[in-house]
A and B are shown apart, each in its own frame.
Chain A
Amino acid sequence: MCLGIPGELVERVPEHEDLAVVDVSGVRRRINIGLLAEERLVPGDWVLVHVGFALSKISEKEAQAVLDYLQGLGQPYADELDALRASDIT
């Protein structure tokens, strides 16, 4: 639960200004981007996702570095991705 996982913003959800679809290692899920309201996120931006909320906007380079690191973690990252896969935020 404490992992921050990088996701690339794919699209905003038109019905809800706080929601957006992100792609995390190929898993596409809706997350809440309300905590980054001041960042004016657009598709292609990278964010660090924590328990379904975008916590920080990060650079693509940082996102790649974090992904490499998380993949190296093995099971904890696999568990986090499984949990994300089961998530269905609306």
Chain B
Amino acid sequence: MRFVDEFRDADRARALAARIAARCRPGRRYTFMEVCGGHTHTIYKHGLEDHLPPEVNLVHGPGCPVCVIPMGRVDDAIHIARQPDVIMTSFGDMTRVPGGAGSFLDAKAAGADIRMVYSPLDALKIARANPDRRVVFMAIGFETTAPSTAMTVLRAAEEGLANFSVFCNHVMIIPAIKAILDSPDLRLDGFIGPGHVSAVIGCEPYEFIARDYGKPMVVAGFEPLDILASVHMLLGQLAEGRCEVENQYARVVPWHGNRVALSAIGRVMRLRPHFEWRGLGFIAHSALAMADEYAAFDAERIFDLPGVRVADPKSCQCGEVLKGVLKPWECKVFGTACTPETPIGTCMVSSEGACAAYYNFGRFSREQMRAAAREPLAEEASRA
């Protein structure tokens, strides 16, 4: 309970928790997926699961952009970084993501010029300052980040910058949610929808989830109270027999999204026929590539890529964690062979990955406590 006092409005949190408990039908189990890694982080950081009644089960979804990058794409990026005259740039989150043959950190130690940037616009500045080098930006992220890459490419085109390109790995949340809904592994009662992704795409694209799959969704903010309020709203829909998309985060998310951002993506990028997601496999129309009009800025066309598909390590169960089938601590290597310092799987790399969040905050979930009481093996996995 030590985290509850850190809440802003701790009293409101307690009151909300009580209202959540009152909305649960005894004996009924409610399983909600929080799609976004930022939500996962909040849930573990504040131990929100401890404040929910036993009927409510939160499972963690695929919305961590670093976590879903397949190993083969990391290898391709490192291959580019090793080409003559190349400066590879990316977000700091990519540093430790393991490919089949090491990470950016390893490649950098071996001599590749890899630089971490805050913004794709910083990569553009590096390109301007180094006209005799080829500067590549490794673009990752969901629809939150894709407009930034698109705007940067538009700027590069405007300036006629010939030494800048993008290795595009942008992915889209809707096809991932659909893949989870179509997966036979998991029974869900509703979704806590992503906040910042929705600031770009709006709430309308989620309507098929309610209409075609009969699952409610509440788009949520990132604070503990936001998550609790969203759980309360989901339970309200179920209790009243409603099934719709609601927006708990209207203070940031406009219902129709950001038109400028969507139009920038539409101009610069096109849908890929399919893309591999780490742990989830190939998902049709789930990622973006550079459009033909911007081929000159497309690292995939400029460089000859190995494009080899690399299977995840056998011991790694990130796929099950990303689909919400396994809790992080249920993975065989969690906290033993796989830690944030020596990650085997991507979920342990990013602070938004479910495994790293769980590891860093050393949370004992209720399930884990029960398991620990049953079998000594679970004690190994626990970090609290």
Question: Binary interface profile of A, 17-60, with partner B (CB < 8 Å = 1, else 0)?
Answer: 01000000000000110111110000000001011110110110
Interface residues of B (CB under 8 A from A): 6, 8, 37-38, 41, 45, 64-66, 91-93, 116-122, 125, 141, 144-145, 147-148, 151, 195-196, 199-200, 222-223, 251-254, 258-261, 264, 351-352
Q: Are A51's CB and B252's CB within 8 A?
A: no
Q: Are A58's CB and B251's CB within 8 A?
A: yes
The CA of A56 and the CA of B141, in the complex, are separated in Å by 17
Tell me which residues across on chain B come within 8 A of A15, comparing CB atoms.
Answer: none
- Interface residues of chain A: helix, strand, loop or mixed (majority): mixed
Question: Binary interface profile of A, 73-90, with partner B (CB < 8 Å = 1, else 0)?
Answer: 101100100011011111
Q: Are B121's CB and A89's CB within 8 A?
A: yes
Tell me which residues across on chain B come within 8 A of A58, comparing CB atoms.
Answer: 251-252
Smallest CB-CB separation from A34: which chain B residue? B151
Q: Which of B118, B122, B254, B352 contacts A2 (CB 8 A)?
A: B352
Q: Are B117's CB and A87's CB within 8 A?
A: yes
Q: Are A2's CB and B38's CB within 8 A?
A: yes
Q: Are A76's CB and B251's CB within 8 A?
A: no
Q: Are B199's CB and A55's CB within 8 A?
A: yes
Can you report 10 residue pairs joining A to B where beta carbons are below 8 Å apart?
A2-B65, A35-B260, A52-B122, A53-B147, A56-B258, A59-B251, A72-B6, A73-B45, A75-B351, A83-B92
Q: Are A50's CB and B351's CB within 8 A?
A: no
Q: Are B37's CB and A52's CB within 8 A?
A: no
Known contacts A35-B260, A50-B144, A55-B200; decide if A86 and B118 are in contact (CB<8 Å): yes
The CA of A13 and the CA of B164, in the complex, are separated in Å by 24
Tell me which residues across on chain A come within 8 A of B252, comparing CB atoms.
Answer: 4, 48, 56, 58, 62
The CA of A84 and the CA of B121, in the complex, are separated in Å by 12
Tell me which residues across on chain B come within 8 A of A4, comparing CB atoms.
Answer: 195-196, 199, 252
The CA of A80 and the CA of B116, in the complex, are separated in Å by 12
The CA of A86 and the CA of B122, in the complex, are separated in Å by 9
Tell me which residues across on chain A come within 8 A of B66, comparing CB atoms.
Answer: 1
Tell me which residues across on chain A come within 8 A of B251, comparing CB atoms.
Answer: 58-59, 62
The CA of A31 and the CA of B91, in the complex, are separated in Å by 16
Smallest CB-CB separation from B145: which chain A residue? A51
Q: Are A83's CB and B148's CB within 8 A?
A: no
The CA of A1 and the CA of B140, in the complex, are separated in Å by 10
Tell me which residues across on chain A come within 8 A of B259, comparing CB atoms.
Answer: 38
Known contacts A1-B141, A50-B196, A83-B92; decide if A35 and B122 are in contact (CB<8 Å): no
